[in-house]
């Protein structure tokens, strides 16, 4: 038995497998990411509390003697066990290594992968469909959304996906969630129409959400050039054709508002649709991220009522 394994046994530490399970749950609770353990005091304490570790178990130091260099290296036993568990999870493709995450996000963190996300849902007894709505990061989605943001728009770009019948559901899910992440990032989590930027008090749930200009039902692509960030009110009213956007960014409101009864669409004494007329939407600073003009044209021709 190695010195380290001997110390795990001697200090009656939980098994690596037990820690792995709790680590997946902690990742899930922390939005999909945890810091490296020496720096991530909160998660280190959370999991130690779950196992009801005593102060000696939390603070015990391993001592490795480097005879040639004539020095002793000390490392915290509990951090070491967490590290072993996280490393084992990365070998099972449930988390990305901090060095891999760093290349995508610039943060040295352990991050759930898509497999790890599925496994955490199972551990919590939640259905896989929750993946679509939970504000939890996954390595694949972070990587793909970065690609969507940084890709240059091709000169012959078309906002329709034509050969998509054979795409696996798991890949479709990654693409859709990456589209949402990329659009939210590009528009700084604000509504392009009214500017509203509002987050839930204790999670990454935002009022604004990524909207497709050409919807999936008409084969619209999951990329930044077919997207707009809109608040809930402006998302559904855009989807049903109460308004659209001209290529010069100006909002065009449906003529059908003239048919609405007087009490309709009123908020604090204003008609929320009429007040959009001729207003300009706010787009990202980088023109490469602006909506494609042919996608907007399609929306004006097929959705605007």
Please give the residue ranges that form the binding site for Zn ion (CB under 5 A). Answer: 191, 193-194, 196, 231, 234
Nearer to Zn ion, 224 or 231 (CB): 231
Q: Provide the residue count of the chain.
A: 305
CB of 119 to Zn ion, least distance (A): 37
Beta bridge partners of residue 73, listed in sequence order: 64
Nearer to Zn ion, 221 or 234 (CB): 234
CB of 137 to Zn ion, least distance (A): 25
Nearer to Zn ion, 53 or 192 (CB): 192
Distance between CA atoms of residues 35 and 111, nearest Å: 9
CB of 304 to Zn ion, least distance (A): 17
Nearer to Zn ion, 97 or 246 (CB): 246
CB of 196 to Zn ion, least distance (A): 5
CB of 278 to Zn ion, least distance (A): 16
CB of 177 to Zn ion, least distance (A): 22
Distance between CA atoms of residues 214 and 227, nearest Å: 8
Q: Residue 59, CB half-sphere, CA atoms under 13 Å: how many? A: 3
> Dihedral of CA 37/40/45/51: which sign?
negative
Nearer to Zn ion, 212 or 234 (CB): 234
CB of 208 to Zn ion, least distance (A): 7
Nearer to Zn ion, 33 or 192 (CB): 192
Nearer to Zn ion, 134 or 210 (CB): 210
């Amino acid at each position: 038995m190695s010195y380290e394994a001997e110390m795990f046994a001697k200090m009656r530490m939980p098994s690596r497998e037990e820690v792995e399970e709790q680590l997946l749950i902690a990742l899930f609770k922390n939005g999909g990411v945890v810091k490296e353990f020496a720096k991530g005091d909160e998660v280190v304490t959370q999991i130690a509390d779950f196992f009801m570790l005593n102060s000696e178990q939390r603070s015990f130091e391993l001592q490795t003697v480097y005879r040639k260099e004539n020095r002793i290296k000390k490392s915290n036993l509990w951090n070491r066990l967490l590290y072993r568990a996280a490393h084992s999870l990365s070998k099972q493709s449930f988390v990305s290594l901090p060095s891999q995450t760093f290349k995508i996000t610039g943060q040295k963190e352990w991050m759930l992968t898509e497999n790890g996300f599925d496994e955490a849902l199972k551990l919590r007894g939640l259905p896989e469909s929750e993946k679509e709505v939970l504000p939890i990061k996954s390595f694949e989605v972070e990587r793909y959304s970065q690609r969507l943001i940084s890709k240059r728009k091709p000169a012959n770009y078309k906002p329709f996906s034509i050969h998509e019948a054979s795409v696996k559901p798991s890949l479709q899910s990654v693409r859709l969630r990456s589209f949402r992440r990329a659009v939210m990032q590009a528009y700084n989590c604000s509504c392009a129409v009214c500017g509203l930027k509002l987050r839930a008090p204790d999670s990454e749930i935002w009022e604004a959400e990524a909207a497709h200009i050409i919807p999936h039902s008409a084969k619209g692509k999951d990329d930044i050039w077919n997207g707009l960030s809109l608040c809930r009110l402006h998302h559904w009213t855009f989807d049903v054709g109460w308004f659209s956007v001209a290529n010069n960014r100006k909002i065009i409101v449906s003529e059908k508002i003239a048919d609405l009864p007087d009490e309709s669409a009123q908020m604090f004494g204003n008609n929320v649709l009429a007040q959009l007329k001729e207003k300009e939407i706010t787009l990202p600073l980088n023109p490469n991220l602006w909506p494609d003009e042919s996608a907007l044209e399609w929306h004006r021709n097929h959705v605007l009522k």
